[in-house]
Structure 1
Amino acid sequence: MSAYNDFAAVYDRLMTDVDYKTRTDYLLKLFGKYGKTPALLLDLACGTGGFSNQMAKKGIEVIGVDMSEEMLGIARENAAAEGTDVLFLCQKAEELDLYGTVDGAICCMDSLNHITDIKKLKKAISKVSLFLEEDCLFIFDVNTVYKHENVLADNTFVIEEDGVYCVWQNEYDSKKLTTHIYLDFFCEQEDGSYLRFGEDFCERAYTDQELKEILEECGFEVVEIFGDMTNSPLSSTEERAIYITRKIR
């Protein structure tokens, strides 16, 4: 998996369609629904800190963890601009090592799909369990098998946002349920020229059964599974699934 070093510089410009405030409010409603609004929250695979900073604005103490120092550099810049105080740590999810426990955890925007080795995924979730207090919630989302098979598939997309032109090409492996993603970027410079660079990474779709088995082995129970940004059960054509899980041991 790439550390997204070059990608970090353009990530926020390509994610302008993500409403972090609305999504943060949604997550907090889910925590509140079960009376588990956290005081100290782990934001695993936090990227440039979109969720971390929004959570901090709500008065929650946040630890943001990501494997890319470049992403975290931008996250710190964003935190300074937003006036938030977030502790950012550079760690791989499967090597998570905190100073103590937290009473809530999130992992957003299909970050767990980027862990394509099921053993490493289990290790990452076991690490969340290790540092999450008992009876507290771990809420995460994943891209569904449906999305990998029918939306990402072998398709090509073109994205143009704020001086960045991106060609996104996918290669789907139906046996492994993986999608290799190739990104070609063309970034406009101050002199009007364009800088070109590439990035590639892989996502894996995990079945509901696979996730439930891993969660159970790591001491979690699945409380509910919703469609993206809803309080409704997951449909067969849902592209993103929201898992609300509770640590029970």
Structure 2
Amino acid sequence: MEAYTGFATVYDMYMDNVPYDTWTENIKTLFEKYNMPMEIVCDLGCGTGQITRRLKAAGYDMIGIDNSYDMLMEAQTHEDSQGILYLCQDMREFELYGTVGAVVSLCDSINYLCDYDELLTVCKLANNYLDPKGLFIFDVKTEHFYETLGCSTIAENRETGSFIWENDYDVETRDNSYFLTIYDENEEGTFDRYEEEHLQHAFTVDEIKKAISESGLELLEVLDVASMSPVNAPEDFKNSDRLYFIAREVTK
């Protein structure tokens, strides 16, 4: 069952509670902190381009990469997507025409990687396409987030559609399954039904740090997304729902 097909057309409607503006400001703050120039930025797992378009508006030349053709088609319906290069590629195999100043991956796109080897592959690819001292910034949902969510069902009804989101988290494997049923109103006034399954994985902090190191990147810091404060102690990691990892290219 393919993800982000039927959901693509209604994704932004149901994700209107996601703090895209705040997350974009966070990234801009980190770019400034680490002297990232106004250069090309690649957005891995860009979806409908919410972050991509905001960074373009801030002055960056943007490339958006996603493996869902439907999500990219939705992104291109927005007028402010003009000038953005969208590529339909799998982040585990993505290719660019040259190097970029930064690679970002937000909205837990990294959690869609299945295991450590895939995580390492993405880190190596990011490192390969970064300019000297370029930045790789990504967020992840944590074990704490998934454990809190557990096995639960979320349902939401809107005027032109509704969804049922059934969640199942396996503590031992740290794999999380979302079973999604969507009802989307069509032009006839009736509702089309779509079903999707989304699989995510909760990486440990040690796994992520190891992948960054083995890929040749230098880990600069780990931040709690909600507070933008450094997270170092083990007890702090256990209480955070979402983390930023900021790494830098150091070998070119």
Give TM-score, length-normalised by structure 1: 0.93
Q: Mark the CA change 1:191 to 1:59 in structure 2 (over 3 Å): closer, same or farther.
A: same
Counterpart position of 1:158:
155
Distance in 2 (CA, whole Å) between partners of 1:162 and 1:101 is: 44
Counterpart position of 1:176:
173
Counterpart position of 1:30:
30
Distance in 1 (CA, whole Å) between partners of 2:166 and 2:3 is: 19
Contact 1:38 1:104 in 2 (8 A): no
Contact 1:53 1:84 in 2 (8 A): no
Matching residue's letter, 1:19:
P
Distance in 2 (CA, whole Å) between partners of 1:161 and 1:221 is: 45
Matching residue's letter, 2:205:
D
Q: CA deviation at 1:53?
A: 0.7
Q: Mark the CA change 1:83 to 1:122 in structure 2 (over 3 Å): closer, same or farther.
A: closer
Q: CA deviation at 1:17?
A: 1.0
Distance in 2 (CA, whole Å) between partners of 1:217 and 1:38 is: 28
Q: CA deviation at 1:91?
A: 0.6
Counterpart position of 2:145:
147
Matching residue's letter, 1:95:
E
Partner of 2:132: helix, strand, or coil? coil
Distance in 1 (CA, whole Å) between partners of 2:227 and 2:216 is: 26
Contact 2:46 2:66 in 1 (8 A): yes
Q: CA deviation at 1:62?
A: 0.6
Counterpart position of 1:109:
107
Among 95, 98, 122, the residue aligned to 1:97? 95
The CA deviation string for residues 194-221 of structure 1, in whole angstroms up to 9 with x for no partner, is 2211111110000000000001011112
Among 202, 206, 211, the residue aligned to 2:203? 206
Partner of 1:48: helix, strand, or coil? coil
Structure 2 unmatched runs, 5+: none
Distance in 2 (CA, whole Å) between partners of 1:44 and 1:206 is: 18
Partner of 1:135: helix, strand, or coil? strand
Q: Mark the CA change 1:159 to 1:222 in structure 2 (over 3 Å): closer, same or farther.
A: farther
**Aligned ranges 1:222-233 → 2 under 5 Å:** 222-233=219-230
Matching residue's letter, 1:67:
N
Counterpart position of 1:40:
40
Partner of 1:30: helix, strand, or coil? helix
| Higher alpha-carbon deviation: 118-127 or 59-68 | 118-127
Contact 2:226 2:242 in 1 (8 A): no
Structure 1 unmatched runs, 5+: none
Counterpart position of 1:188:
185
Partner of 1:136: helix, strand, or coil? strand
Contact 1:38 1:60 in 2 (8 A): yes
Partner of 1:17: helix, strand, or coil? coil
Q: CA deviation at 1:20?
A: 2.2
Counterpart position of 1:11:
11
Counterpart position of 1:69:
69
Matching residue's letter, 1:91:
Q
Distance in 2 (CA, whole Å) between partners of 1:158 and 1:5 is: 19
Q: CA deviation at 1:182?
A: 0.2
Percentage identity across paired residues of the two chains: 32
Which stretches of structure 1, 4 residues or longer, exceed 3 Å deviation after superposition?
189-192
Contact 2:43 2:103 in 1 (8 A): yes
Counterpart position of 2:51:
51
Distance in 1 (CA, whole Å) between partners of 2:3 and 2:119 is: 17
Contact 1:105 1:139 in 2 (8 A): yes
Give TM-score, length-normalised by structure 2: 0.92
Q: CA deviation at 1:190?
A: 4.2
How many residues are paired up? 246
